[in-house]
Chains A and B, each alone.
Chain A
């Protein structure tokens, strides 16, 4: 981490952190695999989401909205809206990675909370940027492998469980969303936005088809973002947000999942 460290030490530390994050994320993967199959997606569809979509919060949202009877379009839109922040992560990572062509496509697929956070946690100028780049690629590889292995285990396990309601699946899904939300609730503004969004979604529930109240609540974020003064900037900057997540992942209580 420090400038005095040799490249060998730095590389070892980067790879160790990347492996740790991958294992921590595995817990979410097991949860996702199990929920997805219990919600009615097939084993192949569940694996396709982890291999192709590869962004945890969007995957959980898609499965959650479908299991609540929200329909495919609402489910897909919710997943896409949750994926918008990866665009900003990509914007932040492009000058660090400096890749083109096929390599850029691979980098794009791996651009999620964890990889961005782990790359930005390294000094961007250390070892001519090699440290930050290695952190991105090593974390990306580690999370991709562990996330998909864990999804496989969860999906196979869920098939053996039987009736989802009997083991409280309908309580497990919102608890999973709460666990994904938790590390983002740092400070007063995120709490206020979370509470207003929850109230808006519940108030609209009797009047809109399932799935739509959640999409309508996204307008709370849009309005808050448009009205935001400089005071909101620290919580809203993607790198800072992601770094907070990384510290959570580093410790005993993993926070974000490949969200």
Chain B
């Protein structure tokens, strides 16, 4: 695991340094800005979906769905981050403990 930790950390640093170092006009193009701003939305949404429904290469419905749904409710109620993730974990763990979901 060390290579990916170190190489991607270095890569993330170089991405930051590039912005501080290159001439303004080089990257300041509306399309580049659009893509850079939308990438986190795409990636995070895909991560939410895959980590909620995927198990290896199959799609399953298990306790995670209820956990994430409970986390979404907490977000709508403007709960802070730690509350959101704890609610999600407790709901999923509770359903498993009582045998209500896999």
Partners in one complex: yes
Chain A residues packing against B (C-beta within 8 Å): 24, 27-28, 30-31, 40-42, 45, 48-49, 52-55, 57-58, 61-62, 64-66, 68-69, 72-73, 75-76, 78-95, 97, 99, 104-105, 107-109, 111-112, 165-182, 184-185, 190, 193-195, 197-202, 205-210, 213-214, 217-218, 220-222, 224-226, 228, 232-233, 235-238, 241, 252-254, 257, 259
B68: min CB distance to chain A, Å: 5
B100 located at the interface, meaning its Cβ lies under 8 Å from any Cβ of chain A in the complex: no
Tell me whether B64 and A171 are in contact (CB under 8 A): yes
Q: How far is the CB of B74 from chain A (nearest CB, A)?
A: 8
Instruction: Give the number of chain B interface residues (Cβ < 8 Å).
Output: 79
Residues from chain B with Cβ under 8 Å of A199 in the complex? 49
Chain B residues lying within 8 Å of A236, measured Cβ to Cβ, are 30, 33-34, 37-38
B27 in the interface (beta carbon within 8 A): yes
Which residue of chain B is the closest to A73 with respect to CB atoms? B4
- Give the shortest distance, in Å, between B63 (CB) and chain A (any CB): 6
The listed residue (A52, A173, A193, A208) touching B13 by CB distance below 8 A is A52
Could you tell me the dominant secondary structure of chain A's interface residues? helix
Instruction: Kindly supply a per-residue 1/0 record for chain B positions 38-81, scoring 1 wherever the CB is within 8 Å of any chain A CB and 0 otherwise.
Output: 11111111111111111011110001101110011001001111
Which residues of B1-26 have CB atoms within 8 Å of chain A's CB atoms?
1-13, 15-22, 24
* Docked complex Cα distance between A91 and B16 (Å): 9
- Chain B, residue nearest A74 (CB): B4
